[in-house]
Amino acid sequence: MARFPKALPTLILTAAVLTVRAPAAELTNPADEARINALVAQMTVEEKVGQLNQLASDTLTGPGRIVSDGEALIKKGSVGSLFNAVKATETNAFQKEAVEDSRLHIPILFGYDVIHGFTTLFPIPLGLSSSWDPSLVEQTSRFAAEEASAQGVRWTFSPMVDIARDPRWGRITEGAGEDPYLGSAFARAYVRGYQGSRLDDPSSIVACAKHFVGYGAVEGGREYNSTEISERTLRDVYLPPFQAAVDEGAGTLMAAFNAVNGVPSSANYFTLTTVLRDEWNFQGLVGSDWTAIREIVLHGIADDENVAARKAFMAGVDMDMQSTVYLAQLPSLVSSGRVPMARLDEAVRRVLRVKFALGLFEHPYVPVPAGLSPAEKARGLELARHAAEESFILLENRPVKGSPLLPLRPSAGMRVALIGPLADDGVDMLGSWTGIADARSVVTLKTSLSKRAELGEFALTVAGGTDVGGMKDDGFARAAEVARQSDVVILALGESGHSSGEASARAHIELPGNQERLLEKIVATGTPVVLVVFSGRPLSIPWASRHVPAILQAWFPGLQAGPALARVLFGEASPSGRLTVSVPRSVGEIPVYYNHLNTGRPRTDAQVPDTNPTDSYYVTGYIDEKDGPLYPFGYGLGYTSFKYSDVAVDTSWLSAAALNRDNTHLNVSATVQNTGSREGTDVAQLYIRLRGTSVARPIRELKGFKRLHLGPGESRKVEFTLGRDELSFWNIDMKHVAEPGTLFVWVASDCTQGSPARVEIRD
């Protein structure tokens, strides 16, 4: 049971009785500020610096430890945060040392990488984003918060809101894809889920939007690499999801590893102070990434750790993760006057602000034994299965014998072959950043299909064929023979779970090893193939897209991979996922993303009338590859079909001045009809294009979306609103305004579909 520490200072204990806690979106509760100021006034410089020191719990003792006596540091008040302590017994033990044995009794803030679940693992974030359902992500992150907080973990290093346009980058798996509008919607959802309605709710954890900023734009997709981003692109593309997280009340941000335009993110005054503090008025805590402050020396803008500490601190990084550079250097920097005491005090206030908002001073401990009830755990598994079903994207579904191959129609005499290295691998189903999930708890596709076969729904034969990254073909012959003797093959291919994530950039994003040859061998048998692709990034599969009748992108689905896949494959649930990142035809065309600028010689510009190029040869593109992605942003099939019609706007013109001054709105509507014989879900997507403006704008930009579930033949009118927020951009003078020009508006099923309505925006 949570209890007060033995010797809390009177000023804290007395004030606690009178405090009315602020909601999650507010870190500046006046009652807390008074307590914070009183506490800071009592602290020595060393104790202040200690609050800015964050260490991994597993490096405090044992081989390879980075500090000689972690227990002494905690009791001295020199550890403000610990991460990787994930059990209540651990967090309570560390907390006891801080709260009961340190001079000022300041509790520790425990953090962990709760990325797509804690004990219950949901689909990877890229998979969750494919649902186009922020409310679902709010539910999964809320459940993750409940599991983590029960063990004393009150800070997650999530969400990752980096915009990613390069699938070679391993950490594309952790985000919501390539679009800033969609990324902003998911950023808000994660923050709401983690932080709840009140941060001091014991089941809430504080969110950390990362990596600030431009990490998803690393050159060549190489991990930790540099980025070159114009200020306009930075503000239009890469900053909006972070601003959305801040506006939603995210309590913390994490500075990125990469340098932006030659300045390491952890020493970038422009992003960390000018934008984040001065423009956005962020009141929370900014932490570094793992040893990133020490790495400023390697970036080359500091000769030693003393200079690195000063540059990072004065730029706006409040807490040092793992490098201990602040602990070693800040006291002397403050005593010499090179770092003002006022700046140190403000950083400490930001750390304490988060701790007070979480209620850690009143309730530093968690109950032991800790954890959720069996009913709550069952609720989590049901949510995991549902989330996986919504994340799957049907990329192909061609007719076989007159009907689409999927959904499969099982019968007692049906012979199903399950082939491939990922059919029964629980570890890989979790993807990267697996929390404390037990891979033995994963229900694989083989397990789920075997249970159905035991019930007599069909006959199942399993053959591996090859390893995920292997080059041996010893299993090819048996796999082909099993395929020939079957009515349908479910082929489970893709990359391993550790092939994406941090430090997992890939120069080749095709199917690894000899899986492509296995695929060709199985297709050559003539038995219809359903290809299930497991991956943490889009894979380039042009041969499969031409020769395989049914392809399901499954990402890494989490604990309930098997049940979710079986339900979708057999039609008990319909695939409704849509791509949030473009799938390239080949590595050579990367980066490929939908919201790019036009050129003076586009291959085609049929989206806008009367602008097609006149020269058919001198055009943008490749002479040896088709133009555009293999599968475009927003794309996804289902088990039914949808028709879009009657796209309409409620006025033929708008005033730019009125948009900027009064936030005048444009109403857009369209009719969506389910033209198939099954119920199903589609995502109506609103796109715009602006022409005639002071700077070129993308050929399309997502500005709204709605999930629609329609019965057979059912129609529904969808409505959207476009106002200043949707129609403004950073113009030639670097002002965020709406400008006169021509506006084209689409409502369609993906970024390539539909006919536009036209609106004039006048002076």
Residue positions annotated with a catalytic role: 289
Q: Tell which residue, 295, 12, 41, 251, has the closest CA to residue 154.
A: 251
State the amino acid at position 263 in one-letter form.
V
Quick check: helix, strand or coil at residue 672?
Answer: strand
d(CA 539, CA 554): 12
d(CA 585, CA 590): 9
8 A C-beta contact, residue 654 and residue 759:
yes
N- to C-terminal Cα separation, the chain: 64
The sign one gets for the Cα dihedral 701, 629, 508, 126 is positive
d(CA 192, CA 200): 14
Torsion angle of the four alpha carbons 286, 290, 183, 508, in this order, in degrees rounded to the nearest 10:
160
How does DSSP classify residue 570?
A: T
* 294 sits in which H/E element: none
d(CA 175, CA 432): 12
Q: Which residues contact 691 (CB under 8 A, 6 or more apart)?
A: 608, 697, 741, 742, 744
* 83 sits in which H/E element: strand 81-83
8 A C-beta contact, residue 237 and residue 215:
no
Widest CA span in the chain: 83
Quick check: helix, strand or coil at residue 20?
Answer: coil
d(CA 8, CA 42): 13
The sign one gets for the Cα dihedral 631, 632, 638, 641 is negative
DSSP strand pairing (666-674 vs 642-649): antiparallel
State the amino acid at position 249 in one-letter form.
G
Strand order in the sheet with 715-722: 642-649, 666-674, 715-722
